[in-house]
Amino acid sequence: MNKIKLVTLVLILLSSAILNAKVITQEEFIDNMVSKHNFGKLYLTKLLGKAKVKSSILKIMFRPAKKSKGKGKPWYKYRKIFVNAKKIKGGVKFWNNNAAVLQRAETTFGVPAKIIVAIIGVETIYGKNTGGFRVLDALTTLAFHYPRRADYFRQELENYLILTHEEGMDPLQQKGSYAGAMGIGQFMPSSFRNYAIDFDGDNKRNIWTNNADAIGSVANYFNKHGWQTGKPVIAATKIRTNSIKKLLALDFAPKYTLQQLKQWGLLYFGTEPNYTNGMIIDLKTKIGTAYWLGFQNYYVITRYNRSKHYAMAVYQLAQEIENAK
C-alpha cells in the first residue's frame, strides 16, 4: 500500500471513530452526577439550565493556533510577551508586597519565591487578569460543545460542581478564563481540589482574591509535582550536529541520564553528575536554534503548562525579577 492510500485510510478510520464515539449529553452527565455524587437531579437540571453556551469561547478554541496568544510563535517572539519590563517591574512589586508569605511558602514547600512570583505573573499579571467568564458557562460550553476535548472538560465540570459544593460557593458566581481556569494562579477545578490550600488560616481556600492562598497553592502544586529544592532548572548546552534529530525525538520528560545523553551526542560540561536525569530543549532565536538541558525542575514547570516556551518564560522571568529586586 502506498503512502497516500495509507494516509487516506487512516483519516477514514479516524473520522469513523469520531462519528461513532459515544457523545455524553447534558442529561446523561446530570444522571451520572446524581448516581456518583448524590447530587439532586432537579438542582443540577436547573443549575445547568442557567449556564450559557458562549460562542466566543468556541471561537477561541477553534481558531488556528498561530492566532492564539503566543502559540505558534518562535521563542524569541514568544519571550517578549512574558519577559518584559512591565512584567519584571510588576513582579518586583508583587514580591515586595507579599514578601513574608512568599518566604513562608518557600520555607514550607521548598519552591523558590521567584518561581512562584513568575508563575503568577505569566498566568494573570499578578492577579490583574484572572478572567471574566463565569466558570460554569465556560466548562458547560466546552463539555458539551467542543468534541475534541469534551471528556476532559466534563471531568473539570464534575470537579467544579463538587468543589463549589465542598467550599460552600455559588457555582454561578465564580469567574475564570475561557477554559475554566480560576483565580490568581489559574487552577483548573481538579487542580483546585487536589492542590489549593488555605495558607492564611481563615479556613477558606480563596485563590481568587487572597494572595496568601494563591501563593501557598502554587507552591504546594509545584511541591506535589516533584520540585527538587536547591536543584537547577535548566542550562545552556550544545549538541553534536549529527545527533540533533535523535536527541530532539526523545520523550518530553527527564527520562534519560546525562551519561546516556552524552553518549547520544549531548555536549554538556556542567557540574551535574552523570546520573542526573535531563531532557533536551530547542528554542528558536534570531540567529538560529539554541539548545538547553532541562532538569526535573524544568519538567515540573511544564506540569503547569505543557510547553517548552512557557516553562522557559517562567524561568527567565523569575531570574529577571530576582535580579531587579
Rounded alpha-carbon distances, angstroms, from residue 168 to 72, 128, 164, 165: 40, 25, 6, 5
Q: What 3-state DSSP class applies to 105?
A: helix
- Where in the sequence numbering do the catalytic residues fall? 123
Rounded alpha-carbon distances, angstroms, from residue 75 to 35, 71, 208, 312: 47, 10, 30, 9
Helices first, then strands: H and E counts in the chain: 16, 7
* C-alpha cell at position 233: 532548572
Cα–Cα distance for residue pair 309/292, rounded to 1 Å: 12
Query: Do the beta carbons of residue 281 and residue 293 sit within 8 Å?
Result: yes
> Alpha helix locations (H) across 21-84?
26-37, 41-49, 55-62, 75-82
Cα–Cα distance for residue pair 164/171, rounded to 1 Å: 6
Local structure of residue 67 (DSSP, 8 states): G
CA-angle at 184, arms to 150 and 115, nearest 5°: 105
Beta bridge partners of 237: 291
Q: What does R_g of the chain's alpha carbons equal in angstroms?
A: 22
Beta bridge partners of 179: none
Cα–Cα distance for residue pair 103/116, rounded to 1 Å: 11
Look at the chain and count its residues: 325
Strands 266-267 and 256-257 come out as: unpaired
